[in-house]
Structure formats: structure tokens, C-alpha cells
Amino acid sequence: MSDFPQDIYTEPQGFDVDTLANLGPLRPMAGIWQGERGLDVKPKAEGPKKQAYVERIELPPLDPQTNGPQLLYGLRYHTHITKPGLVKTYHDQVGYWLWEPATGTVIHTLTIPRGQTAMASGTAAPDAKRFELTASEGLATWGICSAPFLQYAFRTVEFRIAVTVNDDGSWGYEEDTVLMIRGQTEPFHHTDRNLLKKVAEPTPNPLAR
């Protein structure tokens, strides 16, 4: 039995258009952030390799979004990562962090310019200081989609991200991307983590200005 309403067209009325006031557990993440302590553990032919990285992530609020009766508040993001002291892009990623107040659902979408996209979800209280989201291969929702070469050589079977908001205003994440690598029988845990400190406050979403 579906938990969704029979009326899938009628949009909510009279809701607050101030996204920053309605982001639930995502509110502490709004703004522009810098992380100097990133650590990536990635697969190489000779085995796992550790790589330090520097990260800048911009998380501005967007106007409230509706899917018929569904109401979502969220942040659009762009992450740009380099190796310490270098200019060349090491990793680039775009997507959205979304919060559905009615269900307590947190959604994280990600797209990278190597031909991969994913949508992870989890649940959290509006004032949660830690929450975890997952996406899995083969699902019609909360899934992972890869271009043919990645599916052939480095197949992603699960993605998991845990976010922790700290008392000093910083926040951090730990990611685990589980890969089945061609020629190997055991899954490889490609992990990333960083601690982010705010460098600029967010600009309110257009409808709230």
C-alpha cells in the first residue's frame, strides 16, 4: 500500500518561502566552506593509496520546491577539490542537499564529471547533529548510475555518507563508496573524509530576499 496521497497534483499553499529557516538538519551546512584536512583512500593497481586534499564547497539555498503535494527545502552545492599546493582539479562535484519536513527525509544528489550520478537518502530529526544517507546499485529510487566504463571496471555497489555538525560551527563528512573492481573478488572501500570551516555566510534564496 502506498503512503502517498491520491491527489498527486495539488500543491501546498501558504508555506514559508524562507529556505534558511526551514532546512532542518541541513541549516548548519548553508554557506561557503573550506576544508584543509581531507583524506582520500583510493584504489590503485598496487593497492590502496592515501591522498590528502583541500576542498571548497559552496552551499547556497534554493527556493522551495514542490512535486504536487510534496514540499522540499534545499541547498545547491558545488565542491571543488585540489591536492595541497596545486591548481589542477582533483575532484569536482555538483548536486543538491534536500530536506522534506513532512517525512524527516534528507536527500543527497551527486554528479561527477567522470560519468556517474547517485541519489542517497536517510532520515533525521530537524535538529539532528549527525545523520547518514545511503544509495545502492540496482534500485529504482535512491540508486546509482554509471557510464559503461565505470560499470565495467569500477562498479559502484553502494555509497554511504555520514555528516556530523560540531559545536564550534564546523561540520564534517565521512564517505564510503563500495566498489567491485574488475579482477578483484572482494569489494574495495573507497573512502573520503574532511572537516569544513565556514568562510562566508549564505545569501538568502531569491524569494526570501
Task: Give pLDDT tens digits for 49-82.
Answer: 999 999 999 999 999 999 999 999 999 999 999 9
* Residue 87 domain boundaries: 26-200
Number of domains the chain contains: 1
**Could you read off the pLDDT of 135-150 as tens digits, one per residue?**
999 999 999 999 999 9
**Residue 93, in any domain of the structure:** yes
**Residue 13, in any domain of the structure:** no
Q: What is the CATH number of the domain that holds 128?
A: 2.40.128.20
**Residue 102, in any domain of the structure:** yes
Closest C-alpha to 197, from 69, 83, 42, 29 = 29
- Kindly state the cell numbers that stand for 136: 545502492
pLDDT over 70 (residue 1): no
Q: What is the pTM of this model?
A: 0.96
